[in-house]
Amino acid sequence: EPRYYPFAGGSINSMGLPNLGYRAYAELIPALKAFRKPVIASVAGLCEDDFPEIARTISRAGPDLVEVNLSCPNIAGKPQIGYDFETSERLIRR
């Protein structure tokens, strides 16, 4: 089945956010710092417990800023964590 379908009015993709995984990106951060530009990491998880683990791993690698993306994942039938203020606050405190 296609993962990307272009049509006259736009396109549809079902690729999600393909990536190398957070541990691989944590390993890249020191090399990125060598460019002497701010390194900003955006972290997201599939469930509430993923966020603190991923954020800690990335933070230990030394980026200048860690953004916690509470609007991901976008899964049909599952609300974004960012819309749940109590859960959002609990996550940020962790």
What is the secondary structure of 51-85 as a DSSP string?
Answer: HHHHHHHHHHT--SEEEE-TT---BTTB--GGG-H
| Structure confidence by residue, pLDDT tens digits, 23-46 | 999 999 999 999 999 999 999 988
- pTM for the whole thing? 0.74
When the pLDDT of each residue in the chain is averaged and rounded to a whole number, the result is 89
pLDDT at 60: 98
- Of residues 4 and 62, more confidence is placed in 62
Torsion region of 15: left, alpha or beta (phi above 0 gives left; psi -120 to 50 gives alpha)? alpha
Contact 11, 4 (CB under 8 A): yes
* φ, ψ of residue 11 in degrees (nearest 5): -160, 160
- Catalytic-residue membership of 47: no
Catalytic residue among 26, 41, 61, 72, which? 72
State whether residue 2 is helix, strand or coil. coil
pLDDT at 63: 98
